[in-house]
Amino acid sequence: DQQVKQNSPSLSVQEGRISILNCDYTNSMFDYFLWYKKYPAEGPTFLISISSIKDKNEDGRFTVFLNKSAKHLSLHIVPSQPGDSAVYFCAARVEGAGNNRKLIWGLGTSLAVNP
Amino acid sequence: DVKVTQSSRYLVKRTGEKVFLECVQDMDHENMFWYRQDPGLGLRLIYFSYDVKMKEKGDIPEGYSVSREKKERFSLILESASTNQTSMYLCASSSWNSGTGILFFGSGTQLSVL
């Protein structure tokens, strides 16, 4: 049973437009949500995170929005650039102490930004 | 900058071989992880370790073992490689008290078992 769901396996966007990647979750015990970006044949790199007590976090072109009542978060990329083409993973951290803090991963959304 | 180094980018092995994947991190992190990534299946946790000589099974430990003799090094062992272990293997590390749970990943090892 997937606790973190990225329902869109792929997304295609024109350069300069907004990319919106979505993530839904089922577990109310998540205390942090993270977005990672992964290029082919490379390891994922951390992009941006948000605490469960916030509803928005912004870092340059990347903004993450959290709607706790809907158990939904989204990553907005504005403006989208061809270099943003990658697989984006949503991950959630289980609230707890030390070793119990595990990350639960979505299956990823492949973003293609077309020139 | 945190650096997580995986010893090989590409490996080709034969069915039945014993395979060692090595990972070293340079940030004195307590936690280290081994994941595999397969198309359509996301990242699946194989094993993790929160201290030297300590290990815990992840979601898919069958067919794998791990070793952590030193804090900076975490090895994944395929005792008898099989074709269904062909995958991208990713090592990661994190601080035990990381405020946000950020993992730092290596570049990955693409393993092909023939």
- Give the chain B residue whose CA is nearest to the CA of A10: B40
Contact check, Cβ <8 Å, A46/B4:
no
- Compute the residue count for chain A: 115
Q: pLDDT at residue A53 above 90?
A: yes
Which residues of chain B, if any, have pLDDT below 50?
A: none
Count CB pairs under 8 A between chains A and B: 57
Six-digit token pair at B9? 């980018």
Q: Which residues of B are less than 8 Å from A99 in CB distance?
A: 31, 50, 56, 96
Contact check, Cβ <8 Å, A98/B42:
no
Other CB atoms within 10 Å distance of the CB of residue B72: 17
Q: What is the pLDDT of residues A74-112, one digit of tens each?
A: 999 999 999 999 999 999 988 765 555 678 899 999 999
**What per-residue confidence (pLDDT) applies to B11?**
96
Rg (CA), chain A: 14
Q: pLDDT at residue A9 above 70?
A: yes
Amino acid letter, residue B48:
F
Question: Contact at 8 Å (CB) between B6 and B107?
Answer: yes
Q: What is the pLDDT of residues A15-46, one digit of tens each?
A: 999 999 999 999 888 889 999 999 988 899 99
DSSP codes of every residue in B52-111:
TTEEEE-S--TTEEEEEEETTEEEEEESS--GGG-EEEEEEEE-TT-SS---EE---EEE
CA distance B88 to B110: 4
Q: Could you say which DSSP state residue B5 is in?
A: E
**What per-residue confidence (pLDDT) applies to A111?**
97
**Residue A102 to chain B, least CA–CA distance (Å):** 8
Res. A11 pLDDT band, cuts 50 70 90: very high
